[in-house]
Amino acid sequence: MGNARNIAFWLILFLLILALFNLFSGSGNTLQSQAVPYSEFVTAVDKGSVSEATIDGETIRYRGTDGAQYTTIRPEDAEITQRLIENGVAVKAESQDQSGFQSFLISLLPFLLLIGVWIYFMNRMQGGGKGGAMGFGKSKAKMLTEKSGRVTFDDVAGIDEAKEELEEIVEFLRNPQKFRRLGGQIPKGALLVGPPGTGKTLLARAIAGEAGVPFFTISGSDFVEMFVGVGASRVRDMFEQAKKNAPCIVFIDEIDAVGRHRGAGYGGGNDEREQTLNQLLVEMDGFESNEGVIIIAATNRKDVLDPALLRPGRFDRQVTVPNPDIKGREKILGVHARKTPLGPDVDLRLIARGTPGFSGADLANLVNEAALTAARVGRRFVTMVDFENAKDKVMMGAERRSMVLTDDQKEKTAFHEAGHAVVGLTLPKCDPVYKATIIPRGGALGMVVSLPEIDRLNWHRSECEEKLAMTMAGKAAEILKYGEDNVSNGPAGDIQQASGLARAMVMRWGMSDKVGNVDYEQAHEGYMGNAAGGFSISAHTKELIEEEVRRLIDEAYQKAKSILEERRKEWERLAEGLLEYETLTGDEIRRVMAGDPPEPGDDEGSAPVTEKPSVIAVPKTKPKSSRGGEGGDGGLEPEPST
């Protein structure tokens, strides 16, 4: 339908341009004639030099006996027709009505052309929505019908509590009398809250597959347009469609795009987004009730949503969709591995233990990378080695073996990474070292990865202090080996991680006796401005915070330096082992430090698999893009339990 409208528009536009060209080309004949005075025309007539003449009002066009075209303007009171006839000149006359109509068309066509172009671009700008150019106030919600590729609750794993909450909504839609006989009312809305990739949208698709009722899906950004009032109109139209199909479910993905806190922007009361939010609030719970219309929304930014949107009666349930625990990860791996032929040595529980903090999307990516790795080498099924290689690639980045490094760069990287590993193995509350490598991965020239033995739910002060020491061990190692004048920019990522962890300890977690148990993060960062709860702090307090942050980092640096001085021989043995073998696992690191060679074959898949990755990187070339600044618990403000 849209293509037919576009073809018709271009056809009409072409015909209008063609008609305009013909009109101008027809009148262009006059421009090609030579203009002469009227007296000269009369003289030519008397001499018999005129073969034919055309009288068009006051304009006379005539052809001379020499074949040339001439034109002249006849005076208002002059009579020339009889004289032309008497001299044997063929005389023609043109209707004045036709000329006037042509003039009218010539004046009207530019306006018609502009109107047509405006309608076309309005239609294009609004995406050719329903109703043509004037239909951009219609809702863009799509009714989801999953005849093929249907997703059910069997495809959702690892988030059992969230699934139970939503299964109850589906049960209510199937059998409402079961709840109503006890006075229960159907929830009006459910808000899915959780980190990216945890399965919020997958849950919504499962509800659509299980409920057996109409399911509308729309994104929060689909409401917002450049014209004020369009978003509100789309909200009204969406609820009208939903009421006609009740009972039904409406899923709004990324609702924070339209549901942000009112008054935090610059648009005031006429802001398009705020108008859309106001209409959404009224439609969800206003004077008119929406029986049978359930709103399910998803966001990972609950903190920015307007309080009026979160109250009971609008979103009655707030379902938390967290990252899965070890049992959940095992179930998710089982779901994603259904279509993947697995080798006899693959233990999904062992893989789940080695991937803490991974979301459902991360685990799906892990299975896919393992399958791609196996296919690349020509295997018929996926083995445990493929999963280990895929895990290293996901956690640390792809190997960059083609990168050319000098012997000096390799040596500095080896001593730097050996420093991290030795301090991490010495301090009892640091996570066990999983692997150390000097093969460039991502933006880093080397890495040490540590994994906790269990799912980490909170952080203690002593653990944070030892974590800081392990993070600063790379710089301490470079200074001990090469002196302060030869330290490189390699520790840039370590310093960034240490600063983030130390600031969290001082400003958020109350782990500084001088600063006390006050949350200074919002004030220090200017979070959402003072209007949204931020506050000002004095210069003295800022100075005190920076002093405490520096004290924690300096103490961690001194602790790491003293450990490396005490265990210098073991540290140097490990550095030489990394130069020789490039990659060592946890058990191999201990043997090399003790002076024994690593056992052959332990490089592939023999690493002790435990928990959440903690990456310490040496970004000598691109510190900001290093995995050390991006990986897991690597000092970047780990969240404590609440």
Q: Structure tokens of 165? A: 């909450």
Q: For the domain that residue 612 is a member of, what is the CATH number? A: 1.20.58.760
Q: Is position 133 within any domain?
A: no
- Residue 618 in this model has a pLDDT that exceeds 60: no
Q: Compute the distance between CA of residue 489 and CA of residue 505 in angstroms, rounded to an integer.
A: 25
Q: Is position 278 within any domain?
A: yes
Q: Is position 136 within any domain?
A: no
Select from 528, 411, 423 the least CA-distant residue to 470.
423
Q: Is position 115 within any domain?
A: no
Residue pLDDT, tens place only, 37-94: 877 878 887 777 787 887 776 777 778 777 788 788 877 666 777 777 777 677 777 6
Residue 219 and residue 92 share a domain: no
What is the C-alpha radius of gyration for the chain, rounded to an integer number of angstroms?
Answer: 39
Greatest CA separation for the chain: 131
Tell which of 260, 294, 320 closes a domain. 320
Residue 364 and residue 312 share a domain: no
Q: For the domain that residue 373 is a member of, what is the CATH number? A: 1.10.8.60
Residue pLDDT, tens place only, 2-48: 556 666 667 776 776 766 666 555 544 444 567 778 778 788 877 77
Select from 266, 260, 261 the least CA-distant residue to 223.
260
The count of structural domains within the chain is 4
Residues with Cβ within 8 Å of 352's Cβ and at least 6 positions away in sequence, in order, are 326, 327, 329, 330, 333
Residue 625 and residue 543 share a domain: yes
Q: Residue 563: which H helix or E strand, with range? A: helix 539-566
Q: Structure tokens of 551? A: 């004290």
Average pLDDT, the chain: 76
Among residues 283, 417, 466, 570, the one annotated as catalytic is 417
- Residue 149 in this model has a pLDDT that exceeds 70: no
Q: Compute the distance between CA of residue 472 and CA of residue 479 in angstroms, rounded to an integer.
A: 11
Is 408 in contact with 478 (CB distance < 8 Å)? no
Sheet holding 583-585, edge to edge: 583-585, 433-437, 447-450, 614-617
Task: Please tell me the predicted confidence (pLDDT) of residue 95.
Answer: 60
Residue 412 and residue 388 share a domain: no
Q: Structure tokens of 55? A: 């009288």
Is 451 in contact with 458 (CB distance < 8 Å)? no
Averaged pLDDT for residues 135-160: 63
Residue 194 and residue 45 share a domain: no
Q: What are phi and psi of 295, to 5 degrees?
A: -100, 125
Residue 427 and residue 567 share a domain: yes
Tell which of 320, 339, 366 closes a domain. 320
Q: Compute the distance between CA of residue 472 and CA of residue 350 in angstroms, rounded to an integer.
A: 31
Please give the residue that has the higher pLDDT: either 297 or 270. 297
- DSSP letter assigned to residue 23: H
Q: Is position 132 within any domain?
A: no
Tell which of 371, 395, 419 closes a domain. 395
Residue 359 and residue 311 share a domain: no
| Highest mean pLDDT of the ranges 180-189, 251-260, 270-279, 502-511 | 502-511
Question: H helices of 443-538, where?
Answer: 461-482, 492-507, 521-525
Select from 374, 369, 382, 372 the least CA-distant residue to 341.
382
Q: For the domain that residue 306 is a member of, what is the CATH number? A: 3.40.50.300
Residue pLDDT, tens place only, 403-416: 777 888 888 989 99
Residue 398: how many other CB atoms lie within 10 Å = 12
Residue 337 and residue 208 share a domain: no
Residue pLDDT, tens place only, 195-220: 888 888 888 888 877 777 778 888 77
Q: What is the pTM of this model?
A: 0.64
Residue 388 and residue 529 share a domain: no
368: domain range? 331-395
Residue pLDDT, tens place only, 312-325: 888 888 888 888 88
Sign of the torsion angle spanned by Cα atoms 117, 118, 123, 125: positive
Whether 165 sits among the annotated catalytic residues: the reply is no
Mark 381-391 as b/e (b = at least 16 C-beta within 10 Å).
ebbbbbbbbbb
The amino acid at residue 273 is R
Residue 514 and residue 412 share a domain: yes
Task: Please tell me the predicted confidence (pLDDT) of residue 188.
Answer: 81
Residue whose tokens read 């293509």: 3
Residue pLDDT, tens place only, 456-465: 778 899 999 9
Averaged pLDDT for residues 580-609: 70
Q: Is position 128 within any domain?
A: no
Task: Please tell me the predicted confidence (pLDDT) of residue 268.
Answer: 47
- Residue 471 in this model has a pLDDT that exceeds 70: yes
Is 94 in contact with 30 (CB distance < 8 Å)? no
- Residue 483 in this model has a pLDDT that exceeds 80: yes
Q: Is position 484 within any domain?
A: yes
Q: Is position 110 within any domain?
A: no
Per 3-state DSSP, what percentage of the chain is helix, strand, and coil (rounded to 5)? 50, 10, 35
Residue 283 and residue 154 share a domain: yes
Residue whose tokens read 């999307």: 361
Residue 65 and residue 10 share a domain: yes
